[in-house]
A and B are shown apart, each in its own frame.
Chain A
Amino acid sequence: MVDPRLTPFRGPALAFASYLLLQAGSAAVLFAVKLGTTPGQVAEFYLGSEERFAAPRSLPGLLEVAVPHLLAVPLVLFAAAHVVGYARALGRRAFVALVALSFGSAAAGISAGFLVRFAAPELAWLKLVAFVGLEASLLTWAGLLVAIFAPIGERSRGRAPEGAGAALG
């Protein structure tokens, strides 16, 4: 625990980290099942396929996915970055780099679907790279939250910070 004043927030922060992992895991499964794992499969998802009787994605369909993600993803990243930043668990450069990776990947991932469908199908690789970047950043934020808030090593150091008795406090 970097700052003992954060100890009472251990429970909420660890629950949030668990949910970050659940979001990252479910996103990975959905991406693999729906879009595929290669640029060709991703392009086919957006452009449709006569062989598979799949229609191209419509603009309303793309917006239906993009709009909730434009709210939810930055909000989750902001909350995670805010807590980690407050705890000063990373150096300034590393923190800024992780924030840039997170928000950059989110922006690229959301816009890549529109680009593949309406501008440049060859940009399907961008969708894949952006998704991997966002997943990596979510895992990193979750890991940092666990590193900051989990009571690992506190007992062995022989000191119990304020409120440490309440594991979910």
Chain B
Amino acid sequence: MRFLVSGGPEAIVRARAPVRVLLAFGALALAALAAQRVLQGGLSPGGVEAHYLAGGQPLPAAALWEEVHAGAFLYGFLLFVLASLLVVSPVPARTRSALLAVAFVATVADLLAPFAVIAVGGWGALRVATFVLAVGALAAHVAVAALAFGRNGGNGRG
């Protein structure tokens, strides 16, 4: 926080190398999450419904809340770090705000969508949409931060 708030351009330039590595790991985490979801059939409405309503029986509430609990840490921490990095980048404030708003709404919706799938007994497409939007918005954060903290970026406020 100190380097982000009052470190100045020099501190940000010094921070570029670790930030780039962090962004690489962020991208890997998102890729792994996407692969995991694909393997669970999470990219097709039928696959989502088969996961949460296997044999017509909904997953127990505890399993859904465990998913929310773990996902809230992953999404929340990643978004907090990435969005904070964008603040000290040359990205315009409106772009940052829009990216953050989309990512926040999409990630929260993705965590809560399984409850809707079970309540309605369908709507697998909702979880597919929230997941694609959530991962897409976080990936956009990573990409924009990577551009901003590239060779000539990350030296001013947007």
Contacts and interface: CB of A to CB of B under 8 A. Distances in A.
Interface residues of B, number: 32
A12 B80 contact: yes
A136 B70 CA distance: 19
A19, A22, A163 — most chain B CB neighbours (10 Å): A19
B97 A167 contact: yes
A30 B70 CA distance: 12
A88 to B, nearest CB: 12
A15 B76 CA distance: 7
B62, B65, B75, most chain A CB atoms within 10 A: B65
Interface stretch (B15-23, B40-48, B100-108, B122-130): B100-108
B97 A12 contact: no
Interface in A16-69: 16, 18-20, 22-23, 26-27, 29-30, 33-34, 68
B152 interface: no
A79 to B, nearest CB: 7
Contacts of A30: 62, 65-66, 69
Contacts of B151: none
Given A11-B83, A18-B108, A26-B68, A76 B73 contact: yes
B73 A169 contact: no
A11 B72 contact: no
Nearest to A6: B5
B93 A22 contact: no
Interface in B109-130: 111
A72 B66 contact: no
27 contacts: A6-B5, A11-B97, A11-B101, A12-B79, A12-B84, A12-B87, A15-B79, A15-B100, A16-B80, A18-B104, A18-B108, A20-B76, A26-B65, A26-B68, A26-B72, A29-B65, A30-B62, A30-B65, A79-B77, A86-B1, A86-B2, A166-B94, A166-B97, A168-B97, A168-B100, A169-B87, A169-B93
Interface of B: 1-2, 4-6, 61-62, 65-66, 68-70, 72-73, 75-77, 79-80, 83-84, 87, 93-94, 96-97, 100-101, 104, 108, 111, 157
Interface of A: 3, 5-6, 8-9, 11-13, 15-16, 18-20, 22-23, 26-27, 29-30, 33-34, 68, 72, 75-76, 79, 82-83, 86, 163, 165-169
